[in-house]
Amino acid sequence: MWEVWEVWEVWEDGEEIFPPTLPRLPHLPSPQSLIPNMFLYLSKLLPLFFYPLGLACVSLIVALVTLWKRPRIAAIAITLALTLLLFCSNAWIAKSLVRSLEWQNLTPAQIPNAEAIVVLGGATKSAFPPRPTVDLSESGDRVIYAAQLYRQKKAPVIILSGGRIDWRGSGSPESADMATILTSIGIPSQVIIQEPLSLNTYENAVNVRKILEARGIKKVLLVTSAMHMPRSLKIFQRQGINVIPAPTDFLVSEGELQELGSTPKAAILNLLPDTDNLHQFTTGLKEYIGSFVYWLRGWL
Protein backbone atom coordinates (compact mmCIF):
# COMPACT_ATOMS: atom_id res chain seq x y z
CA MET A 1 0.00 0.00 0.00
CA TRP A 2 1.09 3.57 -0.60
CA GLU A 3 2.29 5.33 2.48
CA VAL A 4 0.70 8.71 3.01
CA TRP A 5 2.35 11.26 5.28
CA GLU A 6 0.21 14.19 6.29
CA VAL A 7 1.14 17.37 8.08
CA TRP A 8 -1.00 17.67 11.21
CA GLU A 9 -2.58 20.98 12.07
CA VAL A 10 -2.70 22.59 15.50
CA TRP A 11 -5.37 25.11 16.38
CA GLU A 12 -4.00 28.43 17.56
CA ASP A 13 -5.30 27.91 21.08
CA GLY A 14 -3.30 24.66 21.19
CA GLU A 15 -6.28 22.60 22.34
CA GLU A 16 -6.84 20.33 19.37
CA ILE A 17 -4.63 18.38 16.97
CA PHE A 18 -5.98 16.46 14.02
CA PRO A 19 -5.18 15.53 10.46
CA PRO A 20 -6.63 18.09 8.01
CA THR A 21 -8.23 15.31 5.99
CA LEU A 22 -10.65 14.40 8.79
CA PRO A 23 -14.13 15.96 8.53
CA ARG A 24 -14.72 19.08 10.58
CA LEU A 25 -17.86 20.72 11.83
CA PRO A 26 -19.09 23.53 9.58
CA HIS A 27 -17.60 26.86 10.57
CA LEU A 28 -16.74 30.18 9.07
CA PRO A 29 -13.10 30.41 8.02
CA SER A 30 -10.96 32.59 10.24
CA PRO A 31 -9.09 35.57 8.79
CA GLN A 32 -5.83 33.73 9.51
CA SER A 33 -6.90 30.76 7.39
CA LEU A 34 -7.93 33.01 4.52
CA ILE A 35 -4.53 34.69 4.22
CA PRO A 36 -2.61 31.70 2.78
CA ASN A 37 -5.45 30.92 0.37
CA MET A 38 -5.65 34.54 -0.73
CA PHE A 39 -1.87 34.66 -1.27
CA LEU A 40 -2.04 31.46 -3.32
CA TYR A 41 -4.85 32.86 -5.45
CA LEU A 42 -3.16 36.21 -5.98
CA SER A 43 0.16 34.51 -6.74
CA LYS A 44 -1.57 32.73 -9.64
CA LEU A 45 -3.66 35.72 -10.79
CA LEU A 46 -1.49 38.83 -10.57
CA PRO A 47 1.51 37.56 -12.59
CA LEU A 48 -0.81 37.00 -15.56
CA PHE A 49 -0.73 40.75 -16.14
CA PHE A 50 3.07 40.64 -16.43
CA TYR A 51 3.13 37.86 -19.02
CA PRO A 52 3.31 38.79 -22.72
CA LEU A 53 -0.17 37.60 -23.64
CA GLY A 54 -1.75 39.30 -20.62
CA LEU A 55 0.05 42.57 -21.23
CA ALA A 56 -0.85 42.45 -24.92
CA CYS A 57 -4.53 41.92 -24.05
CA VAL A 58 -4.48 44.83 -21.60
CA SER A 59 -2.85 47.03 -24.24
CA LEU A 60 -5.49 46.09 -26.81
CA ILE A 61 -8.27 46.85 -24.33
CA VAL A 62 -6.72 50.27 -23.73
CA ALA A 63 -6.58 50.76 -27.50
CA LEU A 64 -10.29 49.92 -27.86
CA VAL A 65 -11.29 52.32 -25.10
CA THR A 66 -9.19 55.21 -26.41
CA LEU A 67 -9.51 54.60 -30.16
CA TRP A 68 -12.05 57.35 -30.91
CA LYS A 69 -11.17 60.09 -28.43
CA ARG A 70 -7.41 59.54 -28.06
CA PRO A 71 -6.12 57.80 -31.20
CA ARG A 72 -2.51 58.57 -30.29
CA ILE A 73 -2.75 56.55 -27.07
CA ALA A 74 -4.56 53.78 -28.96
CA ALA A 75 -1.77 53.63 -31.52
CA ILE A 76 0.86 53.37 -28.78
CA ALA A 77 -1.10 50.59 -27.07
CA ILE A 78 -1.47 48.62 -30.30
CA THR A 79 2.24 49.05 -31.04
CA LEU A 80 3.11 47.80 -27.55
CA ALA A 81 0.90 44.73 -27.92
CA LEU A 82 2.35 43.86 -31.32
CA THR A 83 5.93 44.39 -30.14
CA LEU A 84 5.40 42.17 -27.11
CA LEU A 85 3.99 39.31 -29.14
CA LEU A 86 6.63 39.54 -31.88
CA PHE A 87 9.53 39.87 -29.43
CA CYS A 88 8.45 37.12 -27.02
CA SER A 89 7.35 34.55 -29.59
CA ASN A 90 10.51 34.28 -31.68
CA ALA A 91 12.78 31.31 -31.02
CA TRP A 92 15.97 33.30 -30.44
CA ILE A 93 14.58 35.20 -27.46
CA ALA A 94 12.46 32.39 -26.00
CA LYS A 95 15.15 29.72 -26.07
CA SER A 96 17.76 32.10 -24.64
CA LEU A 97 15.52 32.85 -21.68
CA VAL A 98 14.74 29.17 -21.11
CA ARG A 99 18.40 28.22 -21.41
CA SER A 100 19.36 30.76 -18.73
CA LEU A 101 17.27 28.74 -16.27
CA GLU A 102 17.62 25.17 -17.46
CA TRP A 103 21.40 25.08 -17.74
CA GLN A 104 22.10 26.34 -14.22
CA ASN A 105 22.06 22.87 -12.62
CA LEU A 106 23.12 20.37 -15.24
CA THR A 107 23.19 16.72 -14.21
CA PRO A 108 26.70 15.31 -13.65
CA ALA A 109 27.86 12.40 -15.78
CA GLN A 110 27.64 10.13 -12.73
CA ILE A 111 24.67 10.90 -10.50
CA PRO A 112 25.57 10.20 -6.85
CA ASN A 113 23.48 7.93 -4.68
CA ALA A 114 21.10 9.36 -2.09
CA GLU A 115 18.65 8.12 0.54
CA ALA A 116 15.48 9.24 -1.26
CA ILE A 117 14.21 10.59 -4.56
CA VAL A 118 11.89 13.59 -4.17
CA VAL A 119 9.56 14.29 -7.10
CA LEU A 120 7.65 17.58 -7.26
CA GLY A 121 4.07 17.69 -8.56
CA GLY A 122 2.81 19.23 -11.78
CA ALA A 123 3.51 16.20 -13.94
CA THR A 124 0.10 14.56 -14.25
CA LYS A 125 -3.52 15.07 -15.31
CA SER A 126 -6.17 13.39 -13.17
CA ALA A 127 -8.33 10.59 -14.55
CA PHE A 128 -11.38 12.69 -15.39
CA PRO A 129 -13.56 11.39 -18.27
CA PRO A 130 -12.91 10.74 -21.06
CA ARG A 131 -9.39 9.88 -19.84
CA PRO A 132 -9.31 6.15 -18.98
CA THR A 133 -6.60 6.73 -16.37
CA VAL A 134 -4.10 9.29 -15.13
CA ASP A 135 -2.20 10.99 -17.96
CA LEU A 136 1.24 12.49 -17.93
CA SER A 137 1.34 16.23 -18.63
CA GLU A 138 4.05 18.16 -20.45
CA SER A 139 6.22 17.84 -17.33
CA GLY A 140 5.61 14.10 -17.08
CA ASP A 141 9.32 13.39 -17.58
CA ARG A 142 9.62 13.97 -13.82
CA VAL A 143 7.76 10.76 -13.04
CA ILE A 144 9.56 8.68 -15.68
CA TYR A 145 12.97 10.00 -14.64
CA ALA A 146 12.26 9.20 -10.98
CA ALA A 147 11.44 5.62 -11.99
CA GLN A 148 14.69 5.39 -13.96
CA LEU A 149 16.72 6.68 -11.02
CA TYR A 150 15.08 4.16 -8.72
CA ARG A 151 15.83 1.29 -11.10
CA GLN A 152 19.43 2.49 -11.28
CA LYS A 153 19.48 2.04 -7.48
CA LYS A 154 20.23 5.71 -6.88
CA ALA A 155 17.90 5.71 -3.85
CA PRO A 156 15.64 3.15 -2.15
CA VAL A 157 12.64 5.46 -1.58
CA ILE A 158 10.56 7.80 -3.78
CA ILE A 159 8.77 10.73 -2.11
CA LEU A 160 5.99 12.25 -4.22
CA SER A 161 5.04 15.79 -3.22
CA GLY A 162 1.98 17.61 -4.52
CA GLY A 163 -1.61 18.37 -3.53
CA ARG A 164 -4.54 19.62 -5.55
CA ILE A 165 -5.60 23.28 -5.76
CA ASP A 166 -9.36 23.33 -5.14
CA TRP A 167 -10.29 25.82 -7.88
CA ARG A 168 -8.49 23.69 -10.46
CA GLY A 169 -10.91 20.83 -10.00
CA SER A 170 -11.44 18.13 -7.42
CA GLY A 171 -9.90 14.72 -7.64
CA SER A 172 -6.86 12.95 -6.30
CA PRO A 173 -3.80 14.88 -5.12
CA GLU A 174 -0.96 15.04 -7.60
CA SER A 175 1.05 12.75 -5.35
CA ALA A 176 -1.59 10.03 -5.76
CA ASP A 177 -1.69 10.52 -9.53
CA MET A 178 2.09 10.17 -9.73
CA ALA A 179 1.93 7.06 -7.56
CA THR A 180 -0.60 5.56 -9.97
CA ILE A 181 1.77 6.09 -12.89
CA LEU A 182 4.78 4.71 -11.03
CA THR A 183 3.06 1.54 -9.87
CA SER A 184 1.65 0.99 -13.36
CA ILE A 185 5.20 0.83 -14.75
CA GLY A 186 6.41 -1.59 -12.10
CA ILE A 187 7.70 0.53 -9.22
CA PRO A 188 6.84 -1.26 -5.92
CA SER A 189 4.16 0.56 -3.99
CA GLN A 190 5.96 -0.04 -0.69
CA VAL A 191 8.84 2.26 -1.70
CA ILE A 192 6.50 5.18 -2.46
CA ILE A 193 5.75 7.87 0.11
CA GLN A 194 3.07 10.43 -0.68
CA GLU A 195 2.96 14.02 0.54
CA PRO A 196 -0.51 15.15 -0.64
CA LEU A 197 -0.93 18.56 0.98
CA SER A 198 1.48 21.04 -0.60
CA LEU A 199 0.11 23.57 -3.09
CA ASN A 200 3.31 25.34 -4.11
CA THR A 201 7.06 24.77 -4.17
CA TYR A 202 7.61 26.29 -0.74
CA GLU A 203 5.09 23.91 0.81
CA ASN A 204 6.73 21.05 -1.10
CA ALA A 205 9.98 21.78 0.71
CA VAL A 206 8.46 22.34 4.15
CA ASN A 207 6.33 19.19 4.10
CA VAL A 208 9.05 17.00 2.60
CA ARG A 209 11.48 18.20 5.29
CA LYS A 210 9.14 16.86 7.97
CA ILE A 211 9.04 13.48 6.26
CA LEU A 212 12.82 13.41 5.97
CA GLU A 213 13.29 14.33 9.62
CA ALA A 214 10.83 11.65 10.75
CA ARG A 215 12.69 9.00 8.73
CA GLY A 216 16.21 10.22 9.44
CA ILE A 217 16.93 10.84 5.75
CA LYS A 218 19.84 13.22 5.18
CA LYS A 219 20.43 13.36 1.42
CA VAL A 220 17.91 13.41 -1.44
CA LEU A 221 17.81 13.59 -5.21
CA LEU A 222 15.42 16.37 -6.24
CA VAL A 223 13.56 15.66 -9.48
CA THR A 224 11.69 18.45 -11.21
CA SER A 225 11.68 20.21 -14.58
CA ALA A 226 15.01 21.80 -15.47
CA MET A 227 13.43 25.25 -15.74
CA HIS A 228 11.88 24.86 -12.27
CA MET A 229 15.07 23.52 -10.67
CA PRO A 230 16.87 26.82 -9.78
CA ARG A 231 13.97 28.06 -7.63
CA SER A 232 13.22 24.60 -6.19
CA LEU A 233 16.83 23.95 -5.25
CA LYS A 234 17.17 27.23 -3.35
CA ILE A 235 13.91 26.65 -1.48
CA PHE A 236 14.89 23.13 -0.40
CA GLN A 237 18.36 24.28 0.62
CA ARG A 238 16.81 27.11 2.65
CA GLN A 239 14.95 24.37 4.58
CA GLY A 240 18.31 22.81 5.46
CA ILE A 241 17.87 19.81 3.16
CA ASN A 242 20.95 18.26 1.54
CA VAL A 243 19.76 18.27 -2.07
CA ILE A 244 21.33 16.86 -5.21
CA PRO A 245 19.63 18.39 -8.28
CA ALA A 246 18.36 15.87 -10.83
CA PRO A 247 16.68 18.02 -13.49
CA THR A 248 14.67 16.61 -16.36
CA ASP A 249 12.14 17.84 -18.93
CA PHE A 250 14.66 20.05 -20.77
CA LEU A 251 13.08 22.29 -23.40
CA VAL A 252 16.36 23.54 -24.85
CA SER A 253 19.24 21.31 -25.89
CA GLU A 254 22.57 22.01 -27.57
CA GLY A 255 21.18 20.64 -30.83
CA GLU A 256 18.16 22.96 -30.75
CA LEU A 257 20.40 25.97 -30.16
CA GLN A 258 22.60 24.99 -33.08
CA GLU A 259 19.54 24.64 -35.32
CA LEU A 260 18.53 28.27 -34.72
CA GLY A 261 21.18 29.64 -37.03
CA SER A 262 22.26 26.52 -38.88
CA THR A 263 21.27 28.11 -42.21
CA PRO A 264 20.18 31.62 -43.28
CA LYS A 265 16.66 30.30 -43.85
CA ALA A 266 16.51 28.78 -40.36
CA ALA A 267 17.76 32.02 -38.81
CA ILE A 268 14.99 34.01 -40.53
CA LEU A 269 12.24 31.47 -39.82
CA ASN A 270 13.13 31.41 -36.13
CA LEU A 271 12.46 35.15 -35.94
CA LEU A 272 8.82 34.60 -36.91
CA PRO A 273 6.15 34.39 -34.17
CA ASP A 274 5.27 30.93 -32.92
CA THR A 275 2.91 29.86 -30.13
CA ASP A 276 5.35 27.28 -28.75
CA ASN A 277 8.02 29.95 -28.40
CA LEU A 278 5.54 32.28 -26.69
CA HIS A 279 4.68 29.50 -24.23
CA GLN A 280 8.34 28.82 -23.47
CA PHE A 281 9.08 32.51 -22.95
CA THR A 282 6.07 32.84 -20.64
CA THR A 283 7.11 29.80 -18.62
CA GLY A 284 10.62 31.16 -18.21
CA LEU A 285 9.33 34.58 -17.21
CA LYS A 286 7.01 32.88 -14.72
CA GLU A 287 10.01 31.26 -13.03
CA TYR A 288 11.86 34.56 -12.72
CA ILE A 289 8.77 36.29 -11.31
CA GLY A 290 8.23 33.36 -8.94
CA SER A 291 11.81 33.58 -7.71
CA PHE A 292 11.40 37.31 -7.08
CA VAL A 293 8.16 36.83 -5.14
CA TYR A 294 9.63 33.98 -3.10
CA TRP A 295 12.68 36.14 -2.35
CA LEU A 296 10.40 38.91 -1.10
CA ARG A 297 8.71 36.43 1.24
CA GLY A 298 12.04 35.14 2.52
CA TRP A 299 11.59 31.64 1.11
CA LEU A 300 14.83 31.63 -0.94
Residue-level pLDDT at 171 = 73
Q: Where are the domains of the chain?
A: 46-102+254-296, 116-248
Structure confidence by residue, pLDDT tens digits, 218-240: 999 999 999 999 999 999 999 99
Within 10 angstroms of residue 286's Cβ, the number of other Cβ atoms is 16
Residue-level pLDDT at 108 = 85
**80 Cα distance to chain centroid:** 29
Kindly tell me if the per-residue pLDDT of 61 is higher than 90: yes
User: Which pLDDT band, with edges at 50, 70 and 90, does 214 fall under?
Assistant: very high
Arithmetic mean of pLDDT, 238-260: 95
Residue-level pLDDT at 252 = 95
SS3 assignment, position 161? strand
End-to-end CA distance of the chain: 35
Arithmetic mean of pLDDT, 250-265: 92
Measured CA to CA, the distance from residue 220 to residue 223 in angstroms comes to: 9
Residue-level pLDDT at 29 = 46
SS3 assignment, position 160? strand
DSSP state of 114: -
Please give the mean pLDDT across all residues of the chain: 86
CATH of 116-248, one of 4.10.520.10, 3.40.50.620, 3.20.20.100, 3.30.420.40: 3.40.50.620
Quote the percentage of the chain above a pLDDT of 90: 70
Arithmetic mean of pLDDT, 56-66: 94
Distance (Å) of CA 280 to CA 96, 150, 284? 10, 30, 6
Residue-level pLDDT at 45 = 65
Residue-level pLDDT at 41 = 57
DSSP state of 167: G
Quote the percentage of the chain above a pLDDT of 70: 83
